[in-house]
A and B are shown apart, each in its own frame.
Chain A
Amino acid sequence: MSSSSSRSLTRREFIGQASCAGVGSTALFSTLLTLRLANSLSAQTAGTNGDYRALVCLFLAGGNDSFNMLVPTTGGEYEAYAKVRGNLAIAKETLLSITPGNLGGRTLGIHPSMTEVRDLFTTGRLAFVSNVGSLVRPTTLADVKAGRHLPLSLYSHADQIKQWQTCIPDQRTAIGWGGRAADIIKSLNAPSQVSMNISLSGQSVFLAGQQAFTYAVGSSGATALTGYSPTAANNLTATRSKGVQNLVDQSYRNLLEQTYADSTRDAIDSYYEFSSAIGTSTLTTPTPTGNSLANNLAMIARIIAANGRFGARRQIFFVQLGGWDHHDEVIDNQLTMLRTVSQAVGFFNAALNETGYADRVTLFTASDFGRTLTSNGNGSDHAWGGNHLVMGGAVGGGKVYGDAAAGHYPDLQNLAAIDTGQGRLIPGVAVDEYARDLLTWFGVTAGDLDYVLPAFSSRFGGRPSLGLFSPPATTPGTPTTPTTPTTPSTPSAPSTGGGGGGGGGGGAASPIFLGALGALALARLRQKRQERIRAEQAAKPQD
């Protein structure tokens, strides 16, 4: 339990407790966000329209067996790999060999179907991050055995998916770090119906913010509401359109009705701005045939190239590729699915080269979890840490980043300290750390990290940056900010601060306080909506 002493809380502690309060924390975030915006805006007003940046989260849903995507090949390391994987091991001679620039000569092999990824790696456009996973704090095997400081429902799909996307693995929240980043940064963009956060795969926790909403499109863009036109006059379509507007513009007492009305209204309105913006944004780079992920990435590349028409200086994208839960047939399925990923990523790089955005866009993978190193006969089961790739012109490519103490890639000959059983590895890199590097490049200042990654500074703040972006990123919009946030005031040792405090926070946060804040936030949201509707009605040409 954290101390419930009478000393006043620092703002970071305040946030830390809010994040640990679970239910009710969302409303509290809203309030803190309002306090925060003034600071971040003043810090980021510098820069020009030429400082565009985008993050693309590629989520491999189901849990990629990523120790077959990136395999150790040095001497005894491969033997250890082959032994623990048994009939799931990939033959050494078929692996695409790489010698990362920072592994002191250790070699690795990329999955044989990922030739584009290998080429991107060797040309310095792509890096790997090894053994990443959701952590509540730096965790030892003793912690796991004692059940201390563990993510909720470790090894379960639904929870681990959420935790990768929230970076609050010991609480249940529906707000993701991409959404929180947009909460802070979206004011850099000009006002637009189209959200800064765009999903090619429907709703995600990752992109959901307190105020930032997600705009979802398909690989062919947005769809118009049939039989509707905002500009029709004196005809049946105008009558119908007015009827639709009247229905979705009303304020409904029922919260579900209100949410549906808001969502429908936003979907209808966004279409027009979106379609006109991307209409002239085209690609000549050929899309690999039969590759749905590449189709989605093609749409992302087109949106990125149209950023000026959205008035967007920052955008975050989410795209998901499912089907990775390979309890069975992992070898055969990965042959085709990793090929799909590799071709799509290779295509995306080419498309960004074509549009001139290669240096301004970073794509990174995420997944539920890694999988057991041991075989269940013909597949593998849910585990924890896994390997990931990061692609973009700004990335310090050709390297493998990871727990430096473990030589940046776990030594499979020596797993005793990190194997929780069946080859389930304790992550060497927390998702928070992975996110910190990405967000810092994206332009989130060190001071804003405690909003975007509320657990980071107290739990992992003492750890150095992974250094994913080298040379060290110089964010155009934030010229004065140190690029590698050495957390200004790491409050105390993790054991007394964040990690252990999780539970105490839950008990200490006053439910009445949180409830009142929630209602205030709710009232404010509704009021804002009314104002928006009134403003739009005033701006509308009269029929």
Chain B
Amino acid sequence: MRFLSRLVWLLIGGPLLAQTVSPDTTLSADEQASRFLAQATFGPTTEAIAELRDLGYNYNAWIDRQVAKPATLAAPVVTAALSSAQITSIGNAQNRRARNQVMISGDDQLRQRVAYALSQIFVISDNVSTISNAAEGSSSYYDMLLQNSFGTYRQLLLDVTRHPMMGRFLTHYRNRKANPSTGTRPDENYARECMQLFSIGLYALNPDGTYSGFANGRPVEAYTNDQITEFARVFTGFTDEDNNPNAVGTGTGRLDFPRVSPANYTQPMKMWDAQHDTGAKTLLTYPGVRKASLPAGQSGMQDVNDAIDNLVEHPNTAPFISRLLIQRLVTSNPSDGYVGRVAAAFVNNGRGQRGDLVAVIKAILLDPEARSLTFLTDPEHGKLREPFLRVTHLLRACRYKLSGTVLPYDFGSSITENTLGQFPMSSPSVFNFYLPDYEPPGPISDAQLVGPEFQILNSVFGITTPNNLYNLIHTSAAGFSLDLAPQAAIADNAGTLVDNLDLLLTHGTLSAASREKILTAVNGISTAMVPSGSTLQLTRARMAAYLIVISPDYAVLK
């Protein structure tokens, strides 16, 4: 169908294309580096582009250099602020600031960007009190993602499963085996979402992510509800680390577990075998499966490890996770070939190892579909830049300044999920801010394509997001302001000014037509229009920056 839609596009859309705006495709090496950094970091900076230039624009070498950097962790930022008495307690706002800090300023930008992508797949959210009230728990969870970003998918899935914040969010913390006397049975929540969202997905897939089979015109489902029930039995028995196994509680149901006080929000949950279902269990069956069932009497952690292996090695997992990561980093509608190439790297990193995330990241970022300039003019290529990234890309491009001193990376109450439609680790549910198959009504849906980020582009966020950008450019927003002095210094020449911002914000892809519109506005500013306290040059720089960030050219990362 994709092929057909493209064909019809050429036949019928062709005449229309003649009058449409198309990205600039003549990118300098620096501009190409900027484009790469927009996919791989929280935003290109002049310095980061220079670093790539010094590396001879060797992206592979840059990735290797990034992989070698230690992780810049968030939880230590808040705990240090607490221990030095800069703050008196750790609340949700402090965790958010700590994560903002490491994401936006961390030297390990690729790791941060990948962890942020993972946070939109292995979702927990601080919009529930069990997360927001859990001291530095949510930052600890993000740190766990950081530490696994360049590791293996298997370890990542295991650490996600055992993290006490995931235990709270998907409620397998203190999940008990069935109790025939009270009629209770294991909680299915984690089992279901772990399969549907974190590993194999709903439908049986080919290695390139296409549906592998149809029955009655519908894709074959990858598992049944009975299999969820089996996995739910696997994920029983988890409780806090450091508990006293003899201190059995006196409550009923969930509460009848040992516990520590205060609860442990950062260390992996511990398996308490007394509440683990030790019966035999059926796992997923597929060609080459090593253990399609678990014998009775295994320890809880043996069950969990075997079940994780069963999911990791499932043929769906490589294409399913690969596609999600491509969508987060590069493009909403990757070709089957692109998904297939990344999934192949997932299956085998070249040294016979499965799930090597560095190999996966390299396959995503170095693929021709991510790098080749020919895709710039493909009407289906690219992704709507996420609102949070529209903010961070602007901040980093224009040398943000901070006004606060204690945990100063503070977006306050102005730049939040309420004005962006998203904020890291604050999605409405485990289904993230948008679904990977969301089809915005209109030309994208008509072309049978998806645009996940469009799910949060509406008449509310379509205004409030640009307003945040406007405030950053013209005054300040919460704890941030921009340094546009370098742009003001070159603003007497409108062309030079726009080219500079094009390099940093639109990576040389700003269309000739949009450039012309922006030049007209910049050149249309008379001295009489300059606000008091400003200069003509700064006013011109602000005009150019604002019009670029509100332009479709910037909104869609191609």
Contact = CB atoms under 8 A, between A and B. Distances in A.
B471 A226 contact: yes
Nearest to B174: A377
Given A217-B459, A375-B183, A519-B5, A252 B21 contact: yes
A253 to B, nearest CB: 4
Given A216-B459, A271-B463, A174 B443 contact: no
Contacts of A208: 441
A254 interface: yes
A379 B171 contact: yes
A86 B178 CA distance: 13
Contact of B17 (A209, A224, A253, A374): A253
Interface in A219-261: 222-227, 235-236, 239-240, 242-244, 246-248, 250-261
A76 interface: no
Nearest to B219: A152
11 contacts: A61-B429, A87-B182, A174-B439, A202-B461, A218-B460, A223-B467, A239-B521, A244-B547, A254-B379, A257-B552, A266-B459
B546 to A, nearest CB: 7
A267 B459 contact: yes
Contacts of B185: 374-376, 422
Given A246-B521, A382-B188, 10 more contacts: A202-B456, A216-B461, A217-B460, A236-B543, A243-B547, A253-B377, A259-B443, A377-B184, A378-B255, A422-B185
B187 interface: yes
A215 interface: yes
Interface in B262-297: none
A270 interface: yes
Contact of A264 (B1, B17, B462): B462
Contacts of A257: 21, 552-553, 555-556
A158 B480 CA distance: 36
Nearest to B440: A259
Interface of B: 1, 4-5, 7-9, 11-13, 16-17, 19-23, 128, 170-171, 174-176, 179, 182-189, 192, 196, 202, 214-218, 221, 225, 252-255, 332, 377-384, 421, 428-431, 435, 437-449, 451, 454-464, 466-467, 470-471, 474, 513-514, 517-518, 520-521, 524-525, 529-531, 539, 543, 546-547, 550-553, 555-556, 558
B175 A240 contact: no
Contacts of B457: 203, 260, 263
A170 interface: yes
Contact of B455 (A203, A242, A271): A203
A155 B429 CA distance: 16
Interface in A267-324: 267-268, 270-271, 322-323
Nearest to A224: B463
B458 A199 contact: yes
A518 B383 contact: no
Contacts of A409: none
Contacts of B435: 158
Nearest to A378: B254
B13 A522 contact: yes
Interface in A163-219: 170, 172, 174-175, 179, 199, 202-203, 208-210, 213-218
A267 B7 CA distance: 32
Of the four ranges (under 10, 10 to 19, 20 to 34, 35 or more), the interface on chain A belongs to 35 or more
Given A24-B448, A217-B460, A253-B20, A506 B218 contact: yes
Contact of A378 (B253, B437, B555): B253
Contacts of A270: 459
Contact of B444 (A22, A218, A255): A255
B1 A156 contact: no
Nearest to A246: B517
A529 to B, nearest CB: 10
Contacts of B176: 377
Contact of A519 (B8, B189, B524, B556): B8
Given A158-B435, A253-B20, A518 B8 contact: yes
Contacts of B474: 227
A523 B446 CA distance: 10
A432 interface: no
A522 B443 contact: yes
B221 A153 contact: yes
- Which 5 pairs across A and B sit closest by C-beta, in order of nearness? A506-B217, A503-B216, A243-B521, A503-B217, A257-B552
Contacts of B5: 515, 518-519
A247 B443 contact: no
B383 A256 contact: yes
B459 A242 contact: no
A153 B196 CA distance: 10
B435 to A, nearest CB: 6
A26 B445 contact: yes
A525 interface: yes
A327 to B, nearest CB: 4
Contacts of A87: 182, 184, 252-253
A247 B12 contact: no
Given A224-B463, A519-B11, A23 B448 contact: yes
Given A86-B182, A253-B379, A328 B556 contact: no
A515 B381 CA distance: 19
Interface in A8-54: 20, 22-24, 26-27
A109 B247 CA distance: 40
B184 A374 contact: yes
A327 B255 CA distance: 14
A497 to B, nearest CB: 15
Given A374-B185, A377-B184, A256 B431 contact: no
A520 interface: yes
B376 to A, nearest CB: 9
A225 B466 contact: yes
A250 B439 CA distance: 22
A142 interface: no
A495 to B, nearest CB: 14
B497 to A, nearest CB: 14
A223 B464 contact: yes
A157 interface: yes
Contact of B12 (A179, A213, A235, A523): A523
Interface in A487-532: 502-507, 511-512, 515-516, 518-523, 525-526
A27 B1 CA distance: 13
Interface string A399-443: 000000000000000000000011000000000000000000000
Contacts of A516: 8
Contacts of B218: 152, 170, 502-503, 506
B437 to A, nearest CB: 7
Q: Which of B174, B459, B552 has the most CB of A within 10 A?
A: B459
Contacts of B21: 250-253, 257
Contacts of A226: 466-467, 470-471
Contact of B543 (A202, A239, A322, A505): A239
A157 B429 contact: yes
